[in-house]
Structure 1
Amino acid sequence: MADDHSKATQAAVRERNLTSALQLVLSGSGTATRASIARRTGLTSATVSSLLSGLLADGLVLEGQRAESTGGKRATTLQIDPSRHVLLSVIVQPGLVRGAVVNLLGSEVTSLSQKPVTPGAIEDVQLVVRRLVAATTARVVAVGVQVPGIADGPLIRESVQLGWSDVNLSDALRDIVDAPVHLVNDADAEALADYATSDQFGANQMFVSLSTGVGAAFIVDGSLLAGAAHRAGEIGHVPVLFGPDAPLCACGNRGCLEEVVSVTSLVGLPHGTDLESVDVVALASTQESRERIAFGARVLARALLLVGAALDVPNVVLGGTAPELGDEFIGHLRAEAARHTVRAAMPLSFRYAKVALEQPFRGAAQHALQSTLGVSWAL
């Protein structure tokens, strides 16, 4: 029994050291060497060489060019192999299912989309994954699936937008791809991607995703906040308008935040519209939309004042399709938050996210990478 425990401990230590070495190669962007990894980790040169031999044999790492000489023999640099292993990233929305093959450096290799006949059909997700598998000859390390709902292990506990309840998406994809499937809430995925590519707001920020729905994610001291039941950030179905005239939400309640500040609501589109197929910028410029945008911004700012004060997280990043609403929307948010300052709380700061529009598949891919190999593309 003691020997078994010792072996398990040794295996855990080696796994941790492998992860550290792989992260340093990834973060080094082609400049890491065996000697630099030994210095950074405190491991012996022999241990580092052993670890890297395994990573090289697995095809995760490549030997690169010779590093600059420091007086002795020039060391060989190490880099991630971008061709032999890939990630699949899938974004599920009511009106569109998108997918991409992403290499281990975070670059998109190929992408495709599928417009569902019925919103929330599992078959459309399966078809997209099947097409992605067929589009690459590399080994799929992991699959990241981004959904508008509560992700809990292999289950989507609930997605009002997709009409899902306790859906096991991992089981649905098991016969299609031989790789672990990792599910992630859409706001969480966007927050991870944005945080990894920008240090503008530091380690404490609130990410609010506005598209066909509304969701939030909270990064506190550099870590994503999950909550007691993986439901942190589910603010879309909190009532903010009351009375019989409040708009009816898809969840069955009236006056939910989603019915007031989702981008579809702000520009007057039906619930579940595929926002990729419409000109949000043009729709947002109409007088009717501008009035809805001004009102929605006031409602959202007041809601975020409470959340920001409760969590002591004063930095708000707006993602999803929100950046397409432009300066007017974020200007209203700033003005409303400044108009109602909260005593003893830090004032809110707002900015738009960039990565969700420029690299939409990065968040789910990073979640899959972190969950499977324990490394990330963070700064």
Structure 2
Amino acid sequence: MTAVSVGLPPTLVGTGDLFQLMRDGRPRTRGELAQLSSLARSTITARVDALLLSGLLQPVGEAASTGGRPPTRFAINPHDRVVLAIDLGASHATVAITDMSGEVLGQRTVDSDIADGPVTVLDRVAAIGVDLLGEHDRSIDEVAGVGIGVPGPVEHATGRPANPPIMPGWHDVDIPAHLNRHFPGPVLVDNDVNLMALGEYVTSWESSRHLLLVKVATGIGAGIVADGRLLRGALGSAGDLGHVQVAGAPDDVVCRCGNVGCLEAVAAGPAIAAKLRAGGLDVEGSQGIVDAVAAGEIAALQAVREAGRDLGTVLATCVNLLNPSVIVIGGKLSEAGEYLLAGVREVVYQRSLPLATHDLRIVSTAAGTQGGILGASAMVIDAVLSPRAVDAYVAQRTA
């Protein structure tokens, strides 16, 4: 018996394992669960009753009768609890509450400078979270957990940022402990691009299993989903594409990391904008580039296409190494549309191995600006609905 199952009657040990059969969203009867699990009908009945009592399952109608009373079908109850999802950017913060299926119930985005420091920023988003709960008639006790994405590297096991370059004062800050002063449940922290990748995966690409999301904005980073799971690396820095050297980049292009010729220094928003200004086009930042592309400025179209080629040079290596089935381009510059994608595709399909690109799709983001919120919610839902977590929750609710 596992530690979290203490307090459960013997017939209910493993209730969390049975619950996993319901997580695909398909309603099932007790008989169908017995067939899938090979458990005794009495054990199934006891576990389903416990899941109903705890609020994790709900009846959703009846199946066709084969003689006698029609059997009841059950499905996950998405309204049992809520998740607080937070997406922190360099200059904004988005806070949302979602149900247990990941559907956003309410959301608010505010201007928020990450340089204000952890106490100010975390208290700000906590206050917004409390307001959103009140607006939707949910109590703090109904929060299953908190997911938060930050614009820098994170040690995922502890939830502490690790020397984040654009987050002064945040290194080694115990974000979970701070937010647990306001909300119950686990507080899970990850890099914002990882959560964008997870959000894109759970909303559009679960059948693909292998996904690479690239965020192209003020910086460039990637989130990697391998066999349906986020690949974070040993210390949480996997996917840092922005500081890979681009073959053929000028030696005098210095990156903010101190090296020369980095992808970020030649293909991110500030680099493209600087090139355009040098050519006489008045452009500031990624939004200015997108606006110039929309206006049909030839220099902007060419610069974005060239940035796509530089990005494709690095991604061709990633394709050979990771063999993703889909590459999703996100971030503000993805709003430049096909001009960026065309440059990426041109080089990736030319320089990657034919087998690696046989079924490869290179597409623009479907989740858009919601990716970080949806990924933060999915991260928490996966944690609080794991077998061990469900066993613990059932024990607590049925005690």
Same fold (TM over 0.5): yes
Q: How many residues align?
A: 364
1:61-80 mapped onto 2 (5 Å cutoff): 61-80=57-76
Could you say which residue in structure 2 is the equivalent of 1:140?
143
- Relative to structure 1, is the Cα distance of residues 35 and 287 closer, same or farther in structure 2, using a 3 angstrom cutoff? same
Could you say which residue in structure 2 is the equivalent of 1:355?
367
- Relative to structure 1, is the Cα distance of residues 10 and 81 closer, same or farther in structure 2, using a 3 angstrom cutoff? closer
- Relative to structure 1, is the Cα distance of residues 267 and 76 closer, same or farther in structure 2, using a 3 angstrom cutoff? farther
1:1-379 mapped onto 2 (5 Å cutoff): 8=3, 17-29=14-26, 31-117=27-113, 119=115, 121-122=117-118, 123-136=120-133, 137-138=138-139, 139-152=142-155, 153=157, 154-163=159-168, 164-199=170-205, 202-240=208-246, 245-249=252-256, 251-263=257-269, 265-266=271-272, 278=287, 281-285=290-294, 286-313=297-324, 315-342=326-353, 346=357, 349-357=361-369, 360-374=372-386
What TM-score results when the alignment is normalised by the length of structure 1? 0.83
**Is the Cα–Cα contact under 8 Å of residues 60 and 72 in structure 2 kept in the other structure?**
yes
State the AA in 2 paired with 1:246: V
Deviations 1:20-46 (A, max 9, x none): 3333334234x2222222222222222
State the AA in 2 paired with 1:374: S
Q: Where does structure 2 lack aligned partners over 5 or more consecutive residues?
A: 278-283, 388-399
Could you say which residue in structure 1 is the equivalent of 2:280?
none
Q: Where does structure 1 lack aligned partners over 5 or more consecutive residues?
A: 1-5
1:171, CA displacement in angstroms?
1.9
1:101, CA displacement in angstroms?
0.3
**Is the Cα–Cα contact under 8 Å of residues 143 and 184 in structure 2 kept in the other structure?**
yes
- 2-structure distance, mates of 1:188, 1:7: 31
Q: Quote the RMSD (CA, aligned, Å).
A: 3.2
- 2-structure distance, mates of 1:61, 1:280: 49
- 2-structure distance, mates of 1:374, 1:328: 42
- 1-structure distance, mates of 2:22, 2:51: 10
Q: Which 10-residue stretch deviates more, 258-267 or 34-43?
A: 258-267
State the AA in 2 paired with 1:36: E
Helix, strand or coil: the match of 2:21? Answer: helix
1:99, CA displacement in angstroms?
0.7
- Relative to structure 1, is the Cα distance of residues 338 and 80 closer, same or farther in structure 2, using a 3 angstrom cutoff? closer
**Is the Cα–Cα contact under 8 Å of residues 95 and 274 in structure 1 kept in the other structure?**
no
- Relative to structure 1, is the Cα distance of residues 296 and 166 closer, same or farther in structure 2, using a 3 angstrom cutoff? same
Q: Which 10-residue stretch deviates more, 166-175 or 334-343?
A: 334-343
Helix, strand or coil: the match of 2:172? Answer: strand
Helix, strand or coil: the match of 2:163? Answer: strand
1:70, CA displacement in angstroms?
3.1
1:157, CA displacement in angstroms?
1.6
Helix, strand or coil: the match of 1:112? Answer: strand
**Is the Cα–Cα contact under 8 Å of residues 25 and 79 in structure 1 kept in the other structure?**
yes
- 2-structure distance, mates of 1:35, 1:27: 17
1:280, CA displacement in angstroms?
6.5
State, as a whole percentage, how many aligned pairs show the same letter.
24
Q: Which 10-residue stretch deviates more, 308-317 or 149-158?
A: 308-317
- 1-structure distance, mates of 2:14, 2:288: 49
- Relative to structure 1, is the Cα distance of residues 274 and 61 closer, same or farther in structure 2, using a 3 angstrom cutoff? farther
1:59, CA displacement in angstroms?
2.0
**Is the Cα–Cα contact under 8 Å of residues 86 and 140 in structure 1 kept in the other structure?**
yes
- Relative to structure 1, is the Cα distance of residues 133 and 47 closer, same or farther in structure 2, using a 3 angstrom cutoff? farther
- 2-structure distance, mates of 1:167, 1:306: 34
Helix, strand or coil: the match of 1:109? Answer: strand
Deviations 1:127-172 (A, max 9, x none): 2123213322240001010122222222122322333322221122
- 2-structure distance, mates of 1:316, 1:7: 40
- 1-structure distance, mates of 2:367, 2:167: 24
1:242, CA displacement in angstroms?
5.5
- Relative to structure 1, is the Cα distance of residues 213 and 337 closer, same or farther in structure 2, using a 3 angstrom cutoff? same
1:191, CA displacement in angstroms?
1.9
Helix, strand or coil: the match of 1:193? Answer: helix
- 2-structure distance, mates of 1:205, 1:185: 16
Whose helix proportion is higher, 1 or 2?
2
- 1-structure distance, mates of 2:311, 2:265: 11
State the AA in 2 paired with 1:282: D
Helix, strand or coil: the match of 1:62? Answer: strand
